[in-house]
Amino acid sequence: MAGEMMTGNLAAAWGARLAGVDYIPAFPITPQTEIVEALATWCESGAMAARFVTMDSEHSMMTAAGAAAATGARVFTATSSQGLLYAMEVLYSISGWRAPLVLVNVSRALAAPITLEPDHNDVLAARDSGFLQIHAETCQEVLDSILMAYRIAEDARVMLPVIVNLDGFYLSFTREPVILPAPEQVAQFLPPFRPAHLGFKASAPHALGVAVLGGTPYSYFRHQMHLAAMNALDVHSETAAAFERLFGRRYDVVEGYRLDDAEDVLVMTNAFASRGKVAVDAARAEGRRVGLLRLRMIRPWPADAIRDALRSRRAVAVLDQNLAPGQGGILFQEIAASLYGEPLRPRALCSFIGGLGGKNLSEGEFRAIFDQTAEAGVRGKGIGPILLYTEAEHREMTQLQALAGGLNS
């Protein structure tokens, strides 16, 4: 087996190192800390030429990151969960400056109640910030996506920052074989960053993010960001082709798994999609025609690719590892919106909420999804949102409630 055993966190750090970043403002948070620790070590030892600065908070960290990118530096930083929320205000500014840095988010469910384990409410809270989003399934994909992210972000047709997301624990602390691309090949893939609209030169002053009142310029500039984000779909395909030519690995905006003759399709994102594929194999072994669609790019939203993959299916199940209280699954809404105008849309669209706070998605839960989705397809009527939460788990929950309340269970 080629490569090296490394965690998703270390793979993320390698992505930044191979991308030859200039500047890394950092603030630690579980489960992201190993990324900034590795980068700090490399900057200290001289293995990396970047300037590493520890900031006092994520808000300062993102401000420094955006400001540095606005001077034309290639910038990397990483955070997670509450840290991302604390930096949120700055995300909108950075995308508005069209400063194309790369931010890694290691997903961790949001407080309260507090936990360390993953779900995607953190990263999806940034879905409207103007940052593009790539969600990775494997440690290799984390590294590769960071390299791709810089090339897409820095393309003049895009010039927007990118979040690369990986799941806490299930990728961040999981080691698996990762192939390190050769630095010379990375240099070929990723040209030097020379933005025309950014930079810091005393002889050529300019102001960025200026005040615009009256709404007209605001509308125009915000719409420019939208067009830039939409351009990223094509730029992603070109980038994916170039990446494949050099490194032999291919990543598209969505990934289909055993979709060819699938009548029912499960839609997932991130690391648990690996387990979803195992579940698809198990169901296939019993003669069930199911497949999986993994969304890799969340922003821009790859509506055409999603429609192509889901058209004419009997039923589609969307497994959201997030919960918008009072609404349901976030990706479910977006998938439903994409399919509304599709004449050959699936007969049933089903919404499942699972893996919240890192709760295991068990084989039995996947079976329940496939069963209920098939039934919904036969009936021609969607279901959900259904929480993946078992009777056995509820019994344990009841015991915890009794302990916390001082009652004897």
- Does position 403 interact with another protein (CB under 8 A)? The reply is yes
Matching residue, tokens 């001289």: 46
* Among the residue ranges 43-51, 308-316, 373-381, 383-391, the one whose residues contact another protein (CB under 8 A): 383-391
**Residues facing residue 348 across a β-bridge:** 315
The dihedrals phi and psi of 326, each to the nearest 5 degrees, come to: 85, -5
* 37, 55, 88, 173: residue in contact with another protein (rule CB under 8 A): 173
**Residues facing residue 7 across a β-bridge:** 175
Residues 285-324 that bind another protein (CB under 8 A): 286
> d(Cα 27, Cα 88) in Å, to the nearest integer?
15
- Nearer to another protein by C-beta: 113 or 248? 113
- Nearer to another protein by C-beta: 38 or 316? 38
- Does position 23 interact with another protein (CB under 8 A)? The reply is no
> d(Cα 127, Cα 234) in Å, to the nearest integer?
19
**Residues facing residue 299 across a β-bridge:** 133
Under 8 Å between Cβ of 177 and 1: yes
Cα–Cα nearest to 43, from 63, 18, 24, 57: 24
Element (H, E) at 356: none
Contacts of 90 (CB under 8 A, 6+ apart): 59, 62, 63, 66
* 60, 284, 362, 383: residue in contact with another protein (rule CB under 8 A): 362
> d(Cα 165, Cα 148) in Å, to the nearest integer?
13
- Does position 60 interact with another protein (CB under 8 A)? The reply is no
Matching residue, tokens 């291919």: 250
Total residues binding another protein (CB under 8 A): 44
Shortest distance (Å) from residue 326 CB to another protein = 13
The dihedral built from the CA positions of residue 340, 346, 347 and 349, taken in this order, carries a sign that is negative
- Does position 5 interact with another protein (CB under 8 A)? The reply is yes
- Does position 49 interact with another protein (CB under 8 A)? The reply is no
* Among the residue ranges 217-225, 246-254, 324-332, 361-369, the one whose residues contact another protein (CB under 8 A): 361-369
- Does position 82 interact with another protein (CB under 8 A)? The reply is no
Shortest distance (Å) from residue 114 CB to another protein = 8
**Residues facing residue 315 across a β-bridge:** 264, 348
Query: How far is residue 409 CA from its own chain's centroid?
Result: 41
Contacts of 159 (CB under 8 A, 6+ apart): 98, 99, 100, 153, 195, 197, 228
Strands across the sheet containing 76-79 = 76-79, 102-107, 162-167, 132-135, 297-299
Shortest distance (Å) from residue 176 CB to another protein = 5
* 169, 189, 301, 332: residue in contact with another protein (rule CB under 8 A): 169
* 365, 376, 377, 384: residue in contact with another protein (rule CB under 8 A): 365
- Nearer to another protein by C-beta: 131 or 370? 370
Residues 115-144 that bind another protein (CB under 8 A): 116
**x/- binding map, residues 228-267, to another protein, per CB under 8 A?**
----------------------------------------
- Nearer to another protein by C-beta: 282 or 324? 282
- Any idea what the Cα angle at residue 207 is, between residues 206 and 209, rounded to 5°? 145
* 271, 306, 316, 331: residue in contact with another protein (rule CB under 8 A): 271
Interface residues with another protein (CB under 8 A) are 1, 5, 112-113, 116, 169-170, 173-177, 271-272, 274-275, 277-278, 282, 286, 360, 362-365, 367-368, 370-371, 386-394, 401, 403-407
